[in-house]
Chains A and B, each alone.
Chain A
Amino acid sequence: MSMIMIENLNKSFGTKEVLKDMNLSLEPGQIVGLVGPNGSGKTTLLKILAGLTSDYTGTVRIGGKPLGVETKAMVSYLPEKTYLSDWMRCVDAIDCFNDFYSDFDRNKAMEMLVQLRLDPKQRIKTMSKGMQEKLQLTLVMGRQARVYLLDEPIGGVDPATRSVILDAVLKQYSEDSLMVFATHLIADVERIFDRVIFLGFGEIKLHEEVDKIREKYGKSVDEVFREVFSCLVSL
């Protein structure tokens, strides 16, 4: 059974179509790269899957269930935005997740805080954006979810942090969960993907296994991506 099943998904903001009649089915046990230039609809797609945007048309199912409370319990979503309240300390945020998500592993999250050199007592108010992002990653990865939706987790981080993030993703990988990793920095991460989905102007331009792309084109996914999108842009 597909972990994520999308049929005829359309979403527009006013007259601007952001997702155009999308069809997609993803199996568990994979790390999927969702790649595309800014404004291609990556974030919108993830927001729909996470349950943040409900005014779309089409059918979306996660783990066979229509979007709702049950799918929210299955999905662990890392948005690009920072979403924690100022007054919270790291431990407050962790307690909050522990309270609401039955699949949250408090000990694992506390370990990861240490690994990321975050002080459990520090308040969000005094944290840089980078530190908040690390804390959010801890919260998201602290869950044993069926689906992980990561929106640009490595955008704007230093190489050491990027390595920690990729390690966290790989540690969290399991055969019955699905990871969707949206990024525009493909070269840095393509080797952790099973497959990539190229998204351009709300449409899927290419959906293929990473090694198949390399075999077929004799090029890295990053190079193929550049070619596909330079064509699109010049059109």
Chain B
Amino acid sequence: MFEEFDDKTPIYLQLVDIFKVSIANGTWPIGGRVDTVRDLAIRYQVNPNTVQRSLSELERENLVFSERTSGRYITKDEGVVREIRANLAARKISDYAEQMSLLGFGSEEILAMTGRYLSEGNIGG
């Protein structure tokens, strides 16, 4: 129905992350039109002004841009989208690596375990 939000960080920052993932995985296609603030607010059941603030943040990072009359669009620059995708990936990998090393695994072991997991076909495609 809607995303769970964590309690500690501001909601607008969590929304920025959710929107970035949508852009990275193509749910929000390159050059496509961004849903209206109202629709997004209803979809995620969050305050419209919070959505507004998150979109402004995405604008500042050049991920979306607004046309004066027709609304907001997702960037047409594939380079920016690739970059955001790479950044998100890098962050996930670093979180993962950090957690595994907390469990006491070395680099070699982490790599081997991950390789084995993937080769068993746990992730489709």
A170 engages B45 (CB within 8 Å) = yes
**Cross-chain contact B42 with A167 (CB below 8 angstroms):** yes
Q: With A and B bound together, what is the CA distance between A163 and B49 in angstroms?
A: 19
User: Does A191 contact B47, Cβ atoms closer than 8 Å?
Assistant: yes
Chain B residues near A (Cβ < 8 Å) = 1, 5, 7-12, 38, 41-42, 45-50, 53
CB distance from B86 to the nearest CB of A (A): 28
Measured between C-beta atoms, what is the minimum distance from B4 to chain A in Å? 11
Size of the A side of the interface (Cβ < 8 Å), in residues, is: 22
| Contact (Cβ within 8 A) B8 A191 | no
**Neighbouring A residues of B41 by C-beta, 8 Å:** 170, 173, 192
Q: Interface residues of A: mostly helix, strand, loop or mixed?
A: helix
Between B7, B47, B50, B53, the greatest number of chain A beta carbons within 10 A of the residue's beta carbon is seen for B47
**Residue A129 at the B interface, CB < 8 A?**
no
Q: Kindly identify which residue among A166, A194, A219, A222 contacts B45, using a CB–CB cutoff of 8 Å.
A: A166
**Bound form: Cα–Cα A173–B39 in Å:** 11
Known A170-B38, A211-B50, A223-B7; judge A192-B45 contact (CB<8 A): yes
Q: Tell me the minimal C-beta distance from B45 to chain A in angstroms.
A: 5
A30 interface residue, CB < 8 Å from B?
yes
Query: In the complex, what residues of A have CB within 8 A of residue B47's CB?
Result: 31, 191-194, 210
Q: Which residues in B have their C-beta under 8 angstroms from that of A86?
A: none
Cβ B5 vs Cβ A191 within 8 A: yes
Give A189-223 as 1s and 0s: 1 = Cβ < 8 Å from B's Cβ atoms.
Answer: 00111100000000000000011001100111011
Cβ-defined contact, B49 with A214, below 8 A: no
**Binary contact readout A157-196 vs B (1 if CB under 8 angstroms, 0 otherwise):** 0000001001100110100000000000000000111100
A170-B38, A171-B42, A173-B38 known; A210+B11 contact, CB < 8 A? yes
Q: Nearest residue in A to B44 (C-beta to C-beta)?
A: A191
The reply to whether the CB of A37 lies closer than 8 angstroms to some CB of chain B is: no
Given A191-B5, A211-B10; A30-B49 close (CB under 8 Å): yes
What 6 additional pairs, Cβ within 8 angstroms, besides A173-B38, A211-B53, A215-B10? Answer: A167-B45, A191-B46, A192-B45, A192-B46, A194-B50, A214-B10
B1 touches A163 (CB 8 A): yes
- Chain B residue nearest to A216 in the complex (CB): B10
When distances are taken between beta carbons in the complex, the residues of chain A under 8 Å from B8 are: 214, 218-220
Assess whether A29 is interfacial by the CB under 8 Å rule.
yes
Chain A nearest CB from B92 CB (Å) reads: 23
- The 8 closest A-B CB pairs, nearest first, are A220-B7, A211-B10, A214-B10, A191-B46, A170-B42, A170-B41, A218-B8, A192-B47
